[in-house]
Amino acid sequence: MVDDAHKPTAFAAVILAAGKGTRMKSDLHKVLHPIGGRPMLDHLLDSFADLSPARLVVVAGDRREQLEEALADRDIDVVLQEPQLGTGHAALQAKEALAGFEGYVLVCFGDCPMVRGETMRRLTDALDDVVKVAVLGFRPADPLAYGRIIADGEGRVSKMVEYKDASEEERACDLCNSGVIVAHSDDLWRLLDRVGNDNAQGEYYLPDVATIAIDDGDTVKVVETEPQEVAGINSRAELAAAEAQWQEYKREEAMENGATLRAPETVFFSYDTQIGRDVTIEPNVVFGPGVTIADGATIRAFSHLEGARVGEGCEVGPYARLRPGAVMEARSKVGNFVEMKKATLGEGAKANHLTYLGDATVGAGANIGAGTITCNYDGYFKYRTVIGERAFIGSNSALVAPVTIGRDAIVAAGSSVTRDVADGELRIERAEQLVKPGWADRFHQTMKKKKADKS
């Protein structure tokens, strides 16, 4: 063994994503399908972040242009595997992109997004002057058709074999190959160059890197992890299973950090959802991307939030919708069937029910009555509504933007406001009410008589 000071510090990752993904039946590249609102490839790239890789290479094939577009703003090389001749051949396509690089090279799969950085670190830490190759293994409840790893109690591998080429005795082994492998660059390229395709599929298998190393008398070691961490995603059903697994993790994380989930299995998070302490989330709440919930807030049942910031002690819902740009300042409240978009609800302000606030700023302590809407769109452009502090907007009011309602102003129920309202002013914008005593009685009598005559 060598000490850590003599281990190479440089680290590179090669992500294989050249498969056609035919079982997904989609025009979207398989590794760009989302989990928690984010492409599975991005989840995998996040796992590498803690390892600070010096280089990242993605091996693409079908729909290469989609991957290039998705990774355009990152320092990641995208190389082409054409034709697709197996995983060993795919890994070899990264050799030119990593020319001149010296250090550890880890090869993994873009459709296995749950592998954690900690696990990758354990795998690279297994290498030393004696151990030339390290592979990641797992023990599933049903080994199915996974490739097998034959190893002793110390994790030293004596053989790796694909299921199609395995004997019945080898298939009885429950230690399976995830496909994730790491070796020093000097060793990896040397071994990959020697991989052949004399097998049932006629392909160049990546695990043969380990087999060749063993035949050379070098030591190969297996590091084990949990099956769910290396689960591949090749179909819509497997994508749904991965989503369920990821959501379960996020729910547990939220509760561990001090949030109360009344019915955890009905709450759905996004990859970037931030939940504070003492937050209460009722059943059937969905968080889209870009949501931050401050301490002490309550999100009531059947609410949908996306691109929204909810302040300390706020209350949302039930049946509320916060769209991108919605901001609720401390102790503000939106109730049932309230929708906000590009709108700020000031501290302590409230819109308790049946309201649309779009392109609006609502001052602290203002009250928005039921049925109020900000008319912000004329079919071509959006306009802004500004409502001052402590203003009172009566029920069923239409505020036609651009318009400003002053502080402490009152808009009478049923008004359509098209001009600014001054501070402290009462504005009534509705037709004068007509009163006709006895008219309804005479109407009923006349209609009843007509109905009787007709029958």
- Catalogue the active-site residues: 353
> CA angle 360-365-370, nearest 5°?
65
CB 72 within 8 A of CB 52: no
Residue 229 DSSP symbol: G
| 449 sits in which H/E element | helix 439-454
- Report DSSP letters for 379-433, one per residue: SS-B--EEE-TT-EE-TT-EEESSEEE-TT-EE-TT-EE-S-B-TT-EE--SPPP
Tokens 């900000």 belong to which residue?
374
CB-hemisphere CA count at 13 Å for 369?
Answer: 15
Nearest to 405 by CA among 383, 377, 424: 424
- In b/e form, how buried is each residue of 180-208, taking b as 16+ CB within 10 angstroms? bbbbbbebbbbbbeebeeeeeeebbbbbb
Are 43 and 37 in contact by the 8 Å Cβ rule? The answer is: no
- What does each C-alpha distance from 370 to 363, 384, 394, 433, 447 come to in angstroms? 17, 20, 8, 21, 35
By 3-state DSSP, what share of the chain in percent is helix, strand and coil, each rounded to 5?
25, 30, 45
From its phi and psi, is residue 408 left (phi > 0), alpha (psi between -120 and 50) or beta?
left
| Residues facing residue 138 across a β-bridge | 176, 225
Q: What sections of 56-153 are H helices per DSSP? A: 64-70, 87-92, 117-125
Structure tokens at 80: 């082409």
What the block records as the tokens of 54 is 């010096």
Give the count of beta carbons closer than 10 Å to the beta carbon of residue 105: 29
Residue 207 in tokens: 């695990």
Q: How far apart are CA 145 and CA 347, in angstroms?
A: 59
Direct distance between the N- and C-terminal alpha carbons of the chain, in angstroms, rounded to an integer: 105
